[in-house]
Structure 1
Amino acid sequence: MNDTMDDTMNADRPIPFRRLLAVEARKLADTRSGKIITVVMVGLVVASVAARGTVAGPKPQTLAATAGIALGTLLPVLAILTMTGEWAHRTALTTFALEPRRHRVLAAKSVPPLVAAVALSLLAMLVAVPVTAVVAQAGGGPADWDIQPLWLLGWTGVNVLMAAQGLALGTLLLNAPAAIVISLSTPVLWAVVGRLGSAGAALAEWLDLNTTAAPLASGGMTWGEGARLATSAVFWIVLPMAAGVVRVLRKEVT
């Protein structure tokens, strides 16, 4: 009788969030798509930093910033695949049967891509240090080791925002191809909009996340620039994520 009661009480206990987090983090390495994108991003970070060192000189801050091109493109893709994987592989029914509180699953899915953004940003800086030393030694000139903490913090924050944008698009659409196309084509579309007169330039100035995040990556931001960044973050991250969460919570899983 006591064993039966204990089993019932254990069944009623929620799955610890750390266990959900561990499962979702493991999927980044276990799934083929997540593994490929992670390996590609690490490779591109190392290659871009090393390649820039041959032309930009021994300055680690400049070399590490080069990795932002690859991270800004692929981090949203990784985040999108994280959010849409359950629906693409038709495992959502199993996942939500084990943990009916879907908001906890969504929260657990959101953390690994954001942590990956921070880790890859730090990796870029770690790679830039030995590359700077090698370039300085080969060139016979002094290295510029001036690394601004505010720049590093802001640049890492931009990468986190890019990953968050991917999470929002993936949660809203629940369709990886559509979300990836939107993510990759958005910079091109905003470049076109920005050239459509003063109205288009104003829209891009306030709603293009890549444009509004640039001052954050530079390590210095005014109040006006912060307001534009907040506006674009609400437009591309907060609103899509909120609508996506409502959709997932109400969506029928078959």
Structure 2
Amino acid sequence: MILVELRKAVDTRAGAALPVTIGVLVVAVTGVQLAFADDRTWVSVVANAQQPVSVLVPLIGLLLVTGEWSQRTGLTTFVLVPARSRVVVAKFVAASVLSVVVSVVGFLITFVMLIGSEWEFSWSVVVQLVLVNWLTTMFGTSFGLLLWYSAPAIVVYYVVPFVWTFVGRLAPGLESVSPWLDLGQSRMPLAAPGVAAREWAQLLTSSLLWIAVPAALGTLRLNRSDLS
């Protein structure tokens, strides 16, 4: 079932174009920083090169879920596999695999472009950035599962966290709790080595809010809905 979901993820024009677009942007970002930026340290170059991955790879998971409704394949899928929760798990696993693969390819592109430069490799940063990309992919997949349709899911995925971050930084009293509830803020320390225990805790709580809750609500909605 997971292989089927992996094929679905790249079986549409959008699904096939996204990984290519991400690869092109990784090359562009890395090239611009190496050519023009003053900060060319390994951590800075790699973290910036992973930004296109972190921004766009969640759409792969989101479209994988919403495709059942936008492509009108949901009825067929859930007739062939009546246990809807199994389909949900397969989609999340497939999105996870694609997230890791795209992240690794992004790293390889950056490493190749860094050949000949002086840089210090850090496994902790690589693992942390892969984790960030995976979390954002789960975030997008969860909102796709909750909302079902591509357009509103994409809008909510990009707009709601931005608004929350904006309000959390400006509203009195929210600044101190915002890192615990804002996935965008809590994942920022992972772009550098030496993540503190408090920062890991903030990442956990914000992930539960923005990933686990929408996924649970989306699964509940799916299990209780009549598909046609």
TM-score > 0.5, shorter chain as reference = yes
Q: Deviations over 1:81-122 (max 9, x none)?
A: 111100112211111111111111111111222122212222
Q: Distance in 2 between matches of 1:235 and 1:128?
A: 32
SS at match of 1:253: coil
Which residue of the other structure, out of 206, 209, 217, is the alignment partner of 2:180?
Answer: 206
Partner SS, residue 18 of structure 2: helix
Q: Which runs of 5+ in 1 are unaligned?
A: 1-19, 137-142
**1:75 Cα deviation after fit:** 1.6
- In the other structure, the counterpart of 2:121 is 147
Shift of 1:130: 2.4
Distance apart, 1:69 and its partner CA: 2.0
Measure the CA separation in 2 of the matches of 1:250 and 1:189. Answer: 30
Q: How many Å apart are 1:58 and its aligned residue?
A: 5.9
Matched-pair contact (CA < 8 Å) for 1:58–1:131: no
The aligned counterpart of 1:219 is 193
Which residue matches 1:34? 15
* Residue from 21, 24, 27 that aligns with 2:5: 24
Q: Please state whether the residue corresponding to 1:84 is helix, strand or coil.
A: helix
Counterpart residue number, 2:106 = 124
Q: 2:24 aligns with which of 35, 40, 43?
A: 43
The alpha-carbon deviation at position 63 of structure 1 amounts to 2.3
Inter-partner Cα distance in structure 2 for 1:86 and 1:231: 30
Aligned to 1:64: 46
1:78 aligns with 60
Contact 2:125–2:191 (CA under 8 A) maintained in structure 1: yes
Tell me if the contact between 1:75 and 1:113 (Cα under 8 Å) persists in the aligned partners: no
Residue type of the partner of 2:168? Answer: G
Decide which of 178, 188, 191 is 2:152's aligned counterpart.
178
Residues 1:129 and 1:60: Cα distance change in structure 2 (over 3 Å): farther
Q: Is the 8 A contact 1:79 1:163 kept in 2?
A: yes
Amino acid in structure 1 at the alignment position of 2:29: S
1: CA distance, partners of 2:30 / 2:145: 32
Q: Verify the 8 A CA contact 2:9 2:61 in the aligned structure 1.
A: no
TM-score by length of 2: 0.92
How many residue pairs get aligned? The number is: 227
Post-superposition shift, 1:124? Answer: 2.1
TM-score (norm 1): 0.83
Aligned-residue RMSD, C-alpha: 1.8
Q: Distance in 2 between matches of 1:130 and 1:145?
A: 12
